[in-house]
Amino acid sequence: MTKHRIYSISVASVYPHYITKAEKKGRTKAEVDEIFRWLTGYSQKALEAELAKGTNFEDFFAKAPALHPARSLITGVICGIRVENIEEPLMRELRYLDKLIDELARGRKMEKILRG
């Protein structure tokens, strides 16, 4: 089976779009970074280093220090697909990230976004 092309795209090339989406709705880059750190376990410094290196999504998630155990509580529809029903693990991680950014842009409180 061939890999989805999103896996080879650098996180840094999509990251500004996440920031723009959040800022258009009155949220901040710091909140986007908090979501990235919560989901993956990267420190701010490590996150910035991965962005600077141009790490692709496949490697970004494969090298994530500690994928958050509560990420399985993320449910709902993103891109017309229920995230909890996605079988391919890497695609599910990507959709978790998309869903969290979407919740941020929709004005949800950060403690709820981070399943606190």
pLDDT computed for residue 3 by the predictor: 82
Spatial CA neighbour of 77 closest among 106, 37, 41, 42: 106
pLDDT computed for residue 1 by the predictor: 56
pLDDT computed for residue 116 by the predictor: 83
- State percent of the chain over pLDDT 90: 93
CB 83 within 8 A of CB 92: yes
Quick one: CA dihedral 38, 40, 41, 43, positive or negative?
negative
Query: What is the tens place of the pLDDT at every residue in 33-87?
Result: 999 999 999 999 999 999 999 999 999 999 999 999 999 999 999 989 999 999 9
The type of residue at 44 is Q
pLDDT computed for residue 48 by the predictor: 98
